[in-house]
Amino acid sequence: MRILHTSDWHIGRSFHGHSTLDALAEVLDALVEQVRENDVDVVLVAGDVFDSAAPSAACYPLLTRTLVALADAGARVVVTSGNHDSAARLGFQSALLREEITVLTDPLSVGTPVTIADAHGPVHFYGIPYLEPAIVRHSWEGVELRSQAQTMGHAMDLVRRDLTSRGGRSVALAHCFAAGVEATPGVEREIRQGGLDNVPLPAFDGPDYVALGHIHGRQQLSDRVRYAGAPLHYSFGEAGKPRGSWLVELDAEGLASVEWLDLPVPRPLVTLRASFDELLGGPAYDAFVDHWVRAEYTDATPQIDPMRRLQERFPWCATVAHHPAESRKDDGLGYARRVRAARDETEIIDAFLAHVREGEGASEAERDLIRDVLDARTVAEARS
């Protein structure tokens, strides 16, 4: 049996104010091609199908079209909900879906598999939707569930208990932080308020393969426990990380092989750091005109309207930050002392500029402009 492990589609997520629906549609079309080209039998989507508990109307057609396309390509599809999803919204029409598509969002379904047979017999797929301890702890009496580790441990106990009675090969899907993963700062929403609550790796013992979601980058915790990551880059912190899916093959004995399949990157991300003039005109940056750009300019002083000017060269410039190449030494003069030491209004303005520019006062051209403005005001006051 060939299984494609994917997760964290985050349909509806924006990237610095830009919609990602078209780009995600392109990548999900490529995912469908992976299914066709590799004769995939089952596609697993391990949570965070949507980016929001209340996705916009435009998000639903993309999900429907993709699920139908995967089924038409010959695959069974098993989907679970993640912490970004509303389990109720994602699962409300699960009973009406085609038999090739199964959406698992009910915590009480944990431990009851979706069984799919191949030439070697049945394979049991145990979908574990995202389980918030505060919400699900009352679903199972006599079990203390106050952390993600306890909750996922109990869910996997239910899986192992059922698997013991059924026998055969098995695969589990879950959405959580597993111990040992490397999270991308600012990308994966913390599952437990107040800090990460990691699930220890031994909690996933039992199944032949465990398909995890929540971490946006590809990660391998063991031969049989892996994250596929998100199909798109959703943060500059993810730049350069591969996007794709795991192709998992089971033989008669269990896990036979796992292969990484790359997905296309519609628009690469890059961080460019240089002086403002170099960013605007340097030939070294010609190759990044069609990239998502995070610009960091190193000039000593802030530029006027930097985003508009940079977007004239880089239409997909998403963020601009001022990072001076050298921090000026503190001369020990606070703003109040600078003002008190000034002898006239020109020096007061210069003191203000030095304060906000980390020590650099007005340039010669700026001093001329300041004097002209002050002289014009003096003339106007004399005439009034």
pLDDT tens-digit readout, 209-251? 999 999 999 999 999 999 999 999 999 988 889 999 999 999 9
Name the residue among 163, 86, 87 with its Cα closest to residue 125. 163
Residue 206 sits in the same domain as residue 345: no
Mean pLDDT of 28-46: 98
pLDDT tens-digit readout, 286-312? 999 999 999 999 998 889 999 999 999
Where are the extended beta strands (E) located within the chain? 2-6, 14-15, 18-19, 42-46, 76-80, 101-104, 114-118, 121-127, 169-175, 209-213, 219-220, 225-227, 244-250, 255-262, 269-274, 292-297, 317-322
Residue 181 sits in the same domain as residue 104: yes
State the total domains in the chain: 3
Q: How far apart are CA 228 and CA 78, in angstroms?
A: 15
Strand partners, 261: 245
Residue 13 sits in the same domain as residue 162: yes
Residue 304 sits in the same domain as residue 210: no
Strand partners, 247: 4, 259
Whether residue 329 lies inside any domain: the answer is: no
Residue 11 sits in the same domain as residue 91: yes
- Locus of tokens 């059922």: 162
pLDDT tens-digit readout, 42-70? 999 999 999 999 999 999 999 999 999 99
Whether residue 31 lies inside any domain: the answer is: yes
Residue 24 sits in the same domain as residue 73: yes
Residue 233 sits in the same domain as residue 370: no
Residue type, 290: D
pLDDT of 357 reads 64
pLDDT of 194 reads 40
The confidence band for 189, taking pLDDT boundaries of 50, 70 and 90, is: low
Residue 23 sits in the same domain as residue 128: yes
Residue 185 sits in the same domain as residue 283: no
> Is the pLDDT reported for residue 102 higher than 80?
yes
Instruction: Please check whether residue 124 is in contact with residue 145, taking contact to mean a CB–CB distance below 8 angstroms.
Output: no
Q: How far apart are CA 243 and CA 228, in angstroms?
A: 8
* Least confidently predicted of 178-187, 287-296, 353-362: 353-362
Residue 281 sits in the same domain as residue 257: no
Please say which residue of 221, 239, 262 terminates a domain.
Answer: 262
Strand order in the sheet with 121-127: 114-118, 121-127, 169-175, 209-213, 225-227, 219-220
Helix, strand, coil content of the chain in percent (nearest 5): 35, 25, 45
The confidence band for 153, taking pLDDT boundaries of 50, 70 and 90, is: very high
The confidence band for 97, taking pLDDT boundaries of 50, 70 and 90, is: confident
Give residue 361's domain range. 335-383
Q: In this structure, how many other beta carbons lie within 10 angstroms of the beta carbon of residue 273? A: 14
The confidence band for 180, taking pLDDT boundaries of 50, 70 and 90, is: confident
Kindly give, in sequence order, each residue whose CB lies less than 8 Å from that of residue 177, ignoring residues fewer than 6 positions away: 148, 183, 188, 191, 196, 197, 198, 199, 214, 215
Whether residue 327 lies inside any domain: the answer is: no
Please say which residue of 217, 243, 262 terminates a domain.
Answer: 262
Q: How far apart are CA 10 and CA 238, in angstroms?
A: 15
Please say which residue of 262, 287, 308 terminates a domain.
Answer: 262
* pTM summary value: 0.83
Whether residue 203 lies inside any domain: the answer is: yes
Residue 17 sits in the same domain as residue 135: yes
Whether residue 328 lies inside any domain: the answer is: no
Position with higher pLDDT, 187 vs 214: 214
pLDDT tens-digit readout, 312-357? 999 999 999 998 876 555 555 565 666 676 667 877 877 777 766 6
Residue type, 271: T
Whether residue 251 lies inside any domain: the answer is: yes
Q: How far apart are CA 295 and CA 272, in angstroms?
A: 5
Strand 292-297 and strand 2-6: the pairing is: unpaired
Residue 157 sits in the same domain as residue 73: yes
| CATH at residue 6 | 3.60.21.10
